[in-house]
């Protein structure tokens, strides 16, 4: 009988090449992927070499990045397209041609598909498998951390443009990640530095912020919950809540894909039930709540609070928690992780620059302000 495996950890590295320490961490059977940041970037040749080196450690590692467009775009030079914000894509919705009501909406959807194709094609040409996009949060006008990363205040517009962008990702062979479930756009606090609290009722959230997840559950391949507490539903942030992840997202809304925790080092993840927790405790709580994968970001660098040792403490701590029976490996979670890996070969950069589909998509993008 084959033993069940599950590699839930998504880690990062400090530099632009792999060290022996990086290789050891990435080779660990509990590590399922790596997330890239701007500090890991020099140019396309370096990024391609880094990604190839990661795959030599383990071909099944999922190479991820936060690359949405606008201000959240890790790679901006050496040929990478400066992608529009989601708000800029949505602005096209209202630009109807004379005598053609609704044509602006179709133009916006076409541009969103083009954006997804360009985004995914350029990343994949350098060896990156996956981007945490699209943002499904609603733009209430109060959240600085979300702001123009959101398409619109209207969940219908958000859903249609997100689905269009996901279509473009799919055309380039990339999966998607809707975030931040059930919605981060209403609260002002930034969960990177604070613990946001949204005091609305479950009914209010489900009929507004969470609608894109209900309408897109057959198209979404993964979801990232918000480090936001919704006290009328659960006292824990959504990413640590069985109520949100199992009862609502999986059962009520029918979502079957992978669930990623957001970064466990964010302020919104440091307190659970009013108590400060270790990264291992946070990871175990997230996995037991219904996450398939957990991220720990920006703790590998020498200037991080634990000088890079937090990564090893999490890897070792999660292994020990497994041995104690504090969490159980899940073959279903592992299948969800591996389903996010690209199933088709990518065009290299030179071939991409001559690709008619890519060039057509470039021409459809709105100019970046």
Q: Which residue has the tokens 């270790």?
A: 278
CA atoms of 18 and 33, how far apart (whole Å): 14
CB atoms within 10 A of CB 75: 21
CA atoms of 50 and 59, how far apart (whole Å): 13
Give the dihedral sign, CA 188/71/309/340: positive
CA atoms of 253 and 268, how far apart (whole Å): 24
The token pair that represents 355 in the structure block:
């690709």
The token pair that represents 348 in the structure block:
């290299």
The secondary structure element, H or E, covering residue 106 is helix 103-125
Active site residue 82: no
Active site residue 22: no
DSSP-assigned letters across all residues of 283-327: HHHHHHHT-SBEE--S-SSTTSTTTTHHHHHHHHHHHHHHHHTSS
Q: Choose the catalytic residue: 139, 148, 262, 292.
A: 262
Q: Choose the catalytic residue: 192, 217, 312, 326.
A: 192
CA atoms of 109 and 107, how far apart (whole Å): 5
Residues contacting residue 76 through CB under 8 Å, at least 6 positions apart: 82
Which residues are the active-site residues?
A: 192, 262
């Amino acid at each position: 009988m084959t033993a069940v495996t599950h590699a839930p950890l998504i880690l990062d590295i400090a530099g632009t090449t792999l060290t022996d320490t990086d290789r050891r961490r990435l080779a660990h059977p509990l590590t399922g992927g790596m997330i890239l940041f701007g500090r890991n970037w020099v140019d396309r040749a370096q990024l391609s070499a880094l990604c190839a080196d990661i795959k030599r450690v383990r071909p099944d590692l999922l190479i991820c990045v936060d690359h949405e467009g606008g201000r959240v775009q890790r790679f901006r030079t050496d040929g990478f397209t400066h992608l529009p914000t989601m708000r800029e894509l949505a602005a096209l919705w209202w630009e109807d041609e004379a005598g053609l009501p609704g044509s602006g909406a179709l133009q916006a959807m076409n541009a969103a598909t083009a954006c997804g194709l360009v985004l995914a094609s350029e990343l994949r040409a350098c060896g990156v498998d996956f981007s945490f996009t699209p943002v499904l949060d609603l733009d209430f006008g109060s959240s600085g951390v979300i702001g123009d990363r959101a398409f619109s205040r209207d969940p219908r517009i958000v859903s249609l443009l997100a689905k269009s962008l996901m279509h473009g990702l799919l055309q380039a062979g990339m999966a998607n990640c809707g975030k931040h479930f059930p919605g981060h756009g209403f609260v002002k606090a930034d969960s990177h530095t604070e613990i946001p609290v949204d005091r609305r009722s479950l009914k209010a959230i489900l009929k507004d912020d969470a609608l894109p997840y209900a309408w897109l559950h057959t198209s979404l391949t993964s979801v990232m919950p918000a480090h936001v507490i919704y006290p009328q539903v659960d006292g824990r942030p959504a990413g640590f809540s069985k109520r949100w992840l199992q009862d609502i997202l999986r059962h009520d809304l029918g979502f079957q894909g992978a669930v990623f925790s957001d970064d466990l080092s964010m302020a919104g993840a440091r307190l659970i039930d009013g108590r400060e927790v270790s990264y291992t405790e946070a990871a175990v709580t997230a996995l037991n709540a219904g996450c398939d994968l957990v991220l720990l970001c920006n703790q590998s660098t020498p200037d991080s609070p634990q000088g890079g040792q937090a990564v090893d403490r999490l890897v070792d701590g999660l292994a020990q928690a497994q041995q104690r029976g504090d969490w159980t490996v899940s073959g279903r979670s592992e299948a969800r992780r591996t389903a996010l890996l690209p199933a088709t070969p990518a065009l290299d950069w030179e071939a991409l620059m001559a690709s008619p589909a890519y060039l057509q998509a470039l021409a459809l993008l709105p100019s970046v302000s």
